Amino acid sequence: MPLLPIKADKRIVIIHDVNHIALSNTLSLIKRIYAQFVIYSALQLSDKIITVSEFSKKEIQKYFPAFTRHIYTIPLGVDKNQFHLFSEMEQNRILIKYNLPDYYILYVGNVKPHKNLQVLIKAFALLKKEEKFKNYKLVIVGKKEGFITGDNNISNLIDALHIFPDIIFTGFVAQPDLPILYAQAKLFVFPSLYEGFGLPPLEAMACGCPVIAANAASLPEIYKDAALFFNPDDALELNNTMMKLLYNVELRQHMIEKGLQLAAEHNWDKTAETLLNIINL
């Protein structure tokens, strides 16, 4: 939000989350002070405040109690022109392009500590001990250089668990290819501890991929019964949930259908219409 005067009668701010405040113990003192100042200024200078979930709304009110006036909530959407079901021919083309196996579990996102990737990797290591899943890989879409980040040293964990050959780091994936990676995956797992909304699971659902998500932050609110949830601190529970979904064909199909229904309810036209109504209030 501009701190200096601007030529506008009204200002509206959209704050997706306040993770820099809620997870401030992961930041340096300078970054914590900066985040506090920026968000506080945005709230103070805005005529209307918008966020993307009831969870984020409560978090804003919790950490900035001076701003108890009404905060509008607008759920995010998914682009149906990009994220949808794909033909087997299209899926095979992407498998070849990225040298991916037929059977893989997918994660999309960065590797900041709150994304909780270590629990996913530990759960995947347990899954690999089952003979039925020996040929499965874990595909991680995100910048490769981000996987060695101090306390969140993903690389060391992978080495310690002896599963490096079974984990594929794609690096950057072109936007037109990402939906097909979702569609081809057997599971999409989102273990994040803190999300204002958490868009990747919705994208996965729109592409017909069943989703497992952490029972944390906004995720249960957004994904309701369209995802299977697990304790984000428990790698064994995540492993059991993955096996349950991979073994049970009927449950897998049920979750795919529930996911498609939920994704159909979230579209950018609806989000834009709601935003316009708030602007015009």
Whether the predicted model's global pTM rises above the 0.75 cut: yes
In 77-150, the DSSP E strands lie at 104-108, 137-141, 148-149
pLDDT band at 144 (very low <50, low <70, confident <90, very high): low
Please list, in sequence order, all residues whose beta carbon lies within 8 angstroms of the beta carbon of residue 256, skipping any fewer than 6 positions away.
208, 209, 210
pLDDT of residue 95: 86
CA pair distance 261, 264, nearest whole angstrom: 5
Domains of the chain: 12-73 (no CATH), 88-265 (3.40.50.2000)
pLDDT band at 5 (very low <50, low <70, confident <90, very high): confident
Mean pLDDT of 133-137: 96
Please return the burial class of 196, using the count of CB atoms within 10 Å of its CB with bins 0-12, 13-18 and 19+: buried
Place of tokens 């259908």: 257
pLDDT band at 151 (very low <50, low <70, confident <90, very high): very low
